[in-house]
């Protein structure tokens, strides 16, 4: 139906989109696994990251600086949200924590429109990565390969931290039994604060990386929200490996879905999700919900 | 008790008399409050009574709206009551199917799955252009309604539509109120508190929750049908996330611990939104801020602020919800 290089390009395209989606959902999954909170404001943090990248480039002219600025600003914001808002809501139950982050999502999204305007802003691709490289008989934009590389590095880094360090051990054990961990002398509120802050910072990194590719767009938060939800449902709540696999599946599905059944492009991920839930309600790697 | 009945009769009579008091602009607002109020009450049957937080409650709202629109458009000589019944039936069917997959889950899992189903329906409404006209939406033409005794409701006029909406909403609220007082309605509260214990006591948790979900879907579909008939248009936005979240706002604002709390919340929300959107184009920010403050300082909502301790079955005053217990 299509020549082979088209498939290769679509597959790479799907891989790039999938890894970007993973970058967003990984922070969400981390926080959910640790604290049981589905942080809806995560999508707003992602969007905020993209806009901070825009402003950093505008003010300083350096794209790479925004990779430091955005995670720090958003990470601090996340820490404040955890410390002063979520911790107070904890006693009301998870439903109210979810609703609180939802209210924050609205506030941040509208604040971004207020500050930066209700239209997409172009963030230029950094000069070092502006070109393209030969791929499958054609050329492929270098920046997209950079997205792929960064996502892979962060993915590996997270795996290393979680599996090979002392902090990772504490986080993983706090996921399964926070009370016991705090009885062993670990300051679990501090761990929660750190994880939430780190998750928020990850969202900002994803936003920065996405900005030259997708622009800083006032609708990008709402847009990524349902996709990230689908990812964590398919992958299994709180499972990073599941989130990775699900992101890659959705990336390919959307990439090839658009090629073959363009009119169904919006519903592929939901069909996949429905299928997974019927066969395996707890998701690919999730524990019983 | 008879005094109470008398009071209610007077209140209903006053509601029917509103078109003689309010101007058209305010009357249109009142109509919107009616169907959004019903929508919010149906949401709270799930959240307040069953402890199921739905993030996709717009799904059945939209199904009701589209059903009414399609029936009026394609069925020769269809009247509005028939279209409303069809919308209720379609909503019930959709609720049964969606509920079958969702009610097994709890908490966040339930919220996400309902969201996914509503997004699925949203995508269908957007893409199935032959039936739904996609993004443009389906225009709805509402025929006049002949009543027994030679009276005719001209539904193009706000007062006439108001009387129809008021009648339908009062009937639906009455049914919902009765429902919460049945043994099944009580069993739902038990399952919210502890569904394992309910299962041990021999209750069919899945079946009971499915019935509640379906019933709430029927009510939401009726609300959606009124919405479509009043707006004379039904578009995919009726199924979209903002519609699902607006109803959450309304319910929380009014208070989820009282039967009519969400209705009050819908009314207050409409008034606040109307006022805010005139004052600033960035009104969603302040709605979000209000919502965050409500959750931090008054998560029982307005009826919770006003209310005393009492059974949840009360109409206006709230009692403390089980979610109070530290999780």
Of A94-98, A135-139, A223-227, B318-322, the poorest mean pLDDT is in: B318-322
Q: Which of A224, A99, A288 is nearest to B43 (CA)?
A: A99
- Long-range contacts (CB closer than 8 Å, 24 or more residues apart) made by B309-312: B312/B48, B312/B49, B312/B189, B312/B257, B312/B258, B312/B259
CB pair distance less than 8 Å for A270 and B287 = no
Partner B, chain A 33-52, Cβ-Cβ below 8 Å: 36, 38
Residues of chain A with Cβ-Cβ distance to B109 below 8 Å are: 233, 237, 289
| pLDDT for position B21 | 85
Quick count: other Cβ atoms within 10 Å of Cβ A126?
15
Percent of residues, chain A, with pLDDT higher than 90: 34
CB pair distance less than 8 Å for A38 and B120 = no
Phi, then psi, of A139 in degrees rounded to 5: -130, 150
Residues of chain B with Cβ-Cβ distance to A250 below 8 Å are: none
A140/B181 Cα distance (integer angstroms): 65
Percent of residues, chain A, with pLDDT higher than 70: 97
The residue of B288, B320, B323 whose CB has the most chain A CBs within 10 angstroms, and thus the best one to mutate to test that interface, is: B288
**Minimum CA–CA partner of B280 in chain A:** A114
Greatest pairwise CA separation for chain B in angstroms: 60
| pLDDT for position B312 | 46
DSSP annotation string for B139-157: E--PPPEEPTTS-EE-TTS
**What is the DSSP-derived secondary structure letter of residue B49?**
I
Q: Which of A14, A279, A19 is nearest to A155 (CA)?
A: A19
CA–chain centroid gap for B313, Å, is 18
Is A105 a residue whose pLDDT tops 90?
yes
The tens digit of pLDDT for each residue in A37-90 reads: 888 999 999 999 999 999 999 998 888 999 999 999 999 999 999 999 988 888
A81/A93 Cα distance (integer angstroms): 16
Phi, then psi, of A140 in degrees rounded to 5: -130, 135
State in Å, rounded, how far the first CA of chain B is from the last one.
39
Residues of chain A with Cβ-Cβ distance to B288 below 8 Å are: 103-107, 110
Given a contact cutoff of 8 angstroms between Cβ atoms, the answer to whether B296 and A104 are in contact is: no
A98 touches chain B (CB under 8 A): yes
H/E element holding A250? helix A240-260
CB pair distance less than 8 Å for A96 and B295 = yes
CB pair distance less than 8 Å for B248 and A102 = yes
Given a contact cutoff of 8 angstroms between Cβ atoms, the answer to whether B318 and B257 are in contact is: yes
Tokens of B11: 């209140």
The alpha-carbon gap from A110 to the nearest alpha carbon of chain B, in Å, equals 5
Say which residue, A177 or A41, is predicted with more confidence: A41
B271 touches chain A (CB under 8 A): no
Q: Which of B248, B223, B263 is nearest to B65 (CA)?
A: B223
Spell out the alpha helix ranges (H) of chain B. 2-17, 24-44, 58-74, 80-102, 107-127, 129-132, 158-180, 183-193, 195-200, 205-231, 241-254, 261-279, 283-297, 301-306
Q: Which of B58, B44, B47, B29 is nearest to B267 (CA)?
A: B29
The alpha-carbon gap from A204 to the nearest alpha carbon of chain B, in Å, equals 21
CB pair distance less than 8 Å for A103 and B288 = yes
| pLDDT for position A289 | 43
**Considering CB atoms only, which of B123, B292, B326 is closest to A266?**
B123
H/E element holding A219? none
| pLDDT for position A226 | 81
The alpha-carbon gap from A270 to the nearest alpha carbon of chain B, in Å, equals 6
B324 touches chain A (CB under 8 A): yes
A123/A56 Cα distance (integer angstroms): 10
Helix axes B261-279, B24-44, angle to 10 degrees: 130
| pLDDT for position B316 | 54
- Long-range contacts (CB closer than 8 Å, 24 or more residues apart) made by A167-175: A171/A34, A171/A195, A174/A34, A175/A33, A175/A34, A175/A238
Please report where in the chains the tokens 């409404």 appear, as a residue: B125
A252/B30 Cα distance (integer angstroms): 48
pLDDT < 50 regions, chain B: 309-313, 319-327
H/E element holding B298? none
| pLDDT for position A187 | 87
Cα distances from A168 to residues A34, A188, A191, A232, B86, in angstroms, run 11, 13, 10, 21, 56
A264 touches chain B (CB under 8 A): yes
B42/A116 Cα distance (integer angstroms): 38
**Minimum CA–CA partner of B118 in chain A:** A270
The alpha-carbon gap from B16 to the nearest alpha carbon of chain A, in Å, equals 36
Given a contact cutoff of 8 angstroms between Cβ atoms, the answer to whether B162 and B18 are in contact is: yes
The answer for A135, left when phi > 0, alpha when psi is -120 to 50, beta otherwise, is beta
Of A133-142, A143-152, B174-183, B312-321, the poorest mean pLDDT is in: B312-321
Looking at residues A153-158, what average pLDDT do you find? Answer: 91
State the pLDDT confidence band at A287, using cuts at 50, 70 and 90.
Answer: low
Cα distances from A186 to residues A161, A172, A191, in angstroms, run 18, 13, 8
Residues of chain A with Cβ-Cβ distance to B106 below 8 Å are: 289
CB pair distance less than 8 Å for A270 and B53 = no
Cα distances from B63 to residues A266, A274, B58, B88, in angstroms, run 19, 19, 8, 9
Query: What's the pTM?
Result: 0.86
B273 touches chain A (CB under 8 A): no
């Amino acid at each position: 139906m299509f020549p082979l290089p088209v498939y290769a390009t679509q597959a790479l395209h799907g891989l790039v989109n999938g890894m970007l989606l993973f970058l967003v959902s990984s922070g969400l999954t981390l926080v959910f696994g640790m604290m049981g909170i589905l942080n809806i404001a995560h999508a707003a943090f992602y969007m905020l990251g993209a806009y901070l990248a825009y402003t950093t480039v505008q003010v300083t002219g350096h794209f790479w600086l925004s990779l430091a600025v955005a995670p720090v600003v958003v990470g601090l914001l996340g820490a404040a949200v955890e410390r002063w808002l979520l911790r107070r809501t904890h006693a009301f139950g998870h439903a109210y924590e979810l609703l609180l982050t939802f209210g924050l999502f609205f506030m941040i999204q509208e604040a971004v429109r207020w500050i930066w305007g209700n239209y997409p802003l172009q963030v230029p691709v950094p000069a070092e990565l502006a070109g393209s490289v030969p791929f499958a008989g054609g050329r492929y934009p270098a920046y997209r390969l950079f997205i792929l590389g960064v996502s892979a590095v962060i993915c590996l880094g997270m795996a290393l931290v979680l599996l090979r360090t002392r902090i990772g051990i504490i986080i993983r054990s706090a996921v399964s039994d926070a009370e016991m961990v705090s009885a062993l002398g670990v300051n679990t509120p501090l761990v929660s604060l750190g994880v939430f802050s780190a998750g928020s910072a990850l969202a900002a990194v994803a936003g920065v990386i996405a900005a030259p590719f997708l622009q800083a767009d006032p609708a990008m938060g709402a847009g990524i929200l349902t996709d990230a939800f689908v990812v964590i449902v398919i992958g299994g709540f709180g499972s990073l490996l599941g989130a990775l696999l699900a992101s890659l599946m959705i990336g390919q599905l959307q990439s090839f879905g658009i090629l073959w059944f363009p009119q169904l492009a919006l519903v592929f991920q939901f069909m996949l999700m429905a299928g997974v839930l019927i066969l395996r309600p707890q998701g690919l790697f999730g524990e019983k919900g | 008790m008879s005094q109470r009945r008398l009071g209610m009769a007077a209140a209903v009579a006053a509601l029917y008399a509103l078109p003689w008091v309010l101007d058209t602009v305010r009357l249109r607002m009142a109509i919107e409050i009616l169907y959004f109020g019903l929508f919010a009450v149906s949401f709270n049957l799930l959240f307040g009574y069953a402890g199921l937080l739905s993030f996709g409650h717009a799904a059945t709202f939209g199904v009701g709206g589209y059903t009414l629109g399609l029936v009026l458009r394609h069925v020769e000589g269809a009247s509005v009551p028939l279209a409303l019944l069809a919308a209720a039936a379609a909503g019930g069917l959709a609720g049964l199917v969606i509920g079958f997959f969702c009610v097994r889950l709890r908490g966040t899992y339930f919220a996400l799955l309902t969201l996914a189903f509503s997004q699925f329906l949203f995508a269908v409404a957007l893409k199935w252009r032959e039936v739904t006209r996609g993004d443009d939406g389906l225009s709805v033409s509402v025929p006049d309604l002949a009543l027994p005794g030679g009276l005719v409701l001209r539904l193009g006029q706000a007062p006439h539509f108001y009387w129809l909406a008021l009648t339908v909403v009062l009937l639906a609220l009455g049914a919902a109120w009765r429902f919460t007082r049945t043994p099944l309605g009580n069993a739902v509260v038990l399952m919210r508190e502890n569904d394992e214990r309910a299962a041990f006591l021999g209750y069919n948790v899945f079946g009971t929750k499915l019935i509640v979900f379906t019933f709430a879907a029927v009510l939401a579909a009726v609300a959606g049908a009124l919405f479509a008939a009043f707006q004379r248009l039904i578009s995919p936005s009726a199924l979209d996330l903002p519609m699902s979240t607006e109803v959450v706002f309304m319910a929380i604002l009014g208070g989820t611990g009282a039967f009519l709390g969400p209705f009050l919340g819908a009314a207050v929300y409409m008034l606040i939104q109307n006022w805010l959107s005139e004052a600033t184009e960035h009104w969603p920010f302040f709605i979000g801020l209000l919502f965050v403050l409500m959750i931090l300082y008054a998560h029982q909502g307005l009826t919770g602020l006003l209310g005393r301790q009492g059974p949840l079955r009360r109409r206006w005053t709230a009692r403390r919800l089980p979610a109070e217990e530290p999780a």
